[in-house]
Structures are given as structure tokens and as C-alpha cells.
Amino acid sequence: MRIAVGADHNGFDLKEVIREHLERLGHDVVDYGVKRDEDFDYPQVAEPVARAVASGEVDRAVLVCGTGLGMAIVANKVHGVRAAAVSDPYSAERAIRSNDAKVLCLGGLVTGRSLGPLLVDHWISGDFEGGNSGRKVARIIDLDDRERGHEEQRHR
């Protein structure tokens, strides 16, 4: 699987742990940065990573900031992307299986170095299950499409 990783300065250390873990598992990892010595705002990395997911350039992505929340907010602004900030294995698994969240967001200041790879493992091992969740995700997609239409109308 081709997986993007990205972080701001608060998520750098955990991003490196996740990147190395994914590479050991044999995934093709695309690192969107940040470098350790850079003071970087999370929107600067979350947007290009989310666009890579939306375009199909990568299959999935892991984003890391201080809490994971800022990355999730930004990534969810990109049309066609569903991102989930998670802190426990069950939520990580359900993010993909129930919500088809192709972007996993973690908190470098709140997620331990051993927990991060475990969360990624629970998320990466699953696929979207559809079923009742399919109906709910279809409603999310419909909302996303309607909001995009409203945005296009505002810019005319």
C-alpha cells in the first residue's frame, strides 16, 4: 500500500516512528515532512497530504500534530477526504471499517511511541465494510458534494 505520512513540529518524533514501522511492514511510504528543526504549522502539511489521498496519488495517510485534532480538521476540509483523530485501537479500526477514513490523525504529544504503531496496525489491517455504515458514509459524501456545490456558487 502507498501511504503518505506528515507532521508538524509537534508530531515529528511520532511520525518518524510511524514511518519506520510502515516501511518495516513493506509499505511504500511517501514522507511529506516536517524536518526536526522546522517550525511548521499543521495546515501546511495536512492540506497537501489530504489532496494526495483525494487524487489517489496515495492510498491512505497518517498525519501527526500535537493532538491529531488540527490535522483532522484541515484534512476534512479537502473534498472527498475523511480523516479521523484516534487515540485507541477500537476507534482506529472503526475509522476505516465503519467510516472509510483514509486519513488517520494522531497526537504526537498525547500518543506514546508504542501506542502509535498499534493504532496504525488496527487501521491499516481493515477495509471499509459497507452495510449500514455504507448508508451513513453515502450521506457524508452527499453532504460533502452539496457543500462543494454551495462553495462553487459563492465564487461565481
Catalytic residue annotation: 65
Residue 31 burial (10 A CB sphere; 0-12, 13-18, 19+): middle
In 3-state terms the chain splits into helix, strand, coil percentages (rounded to 5) of 50, 15, 35
Element (H, E) at 133: helix 132-154
How far apart are the C-alpha atoms of 109 and 130, rounded to whole Å? 33
Q: Is the dihedral angle over the CA atoms 105, 117, 95, 53 positive or is it negative? A: positive
Note whether 39 and 68 are within 8 A (CB): no
How far apart are the C-alpha atoms of 33 and 5, rounded to whole Å? 7
DSSP state of 30: E
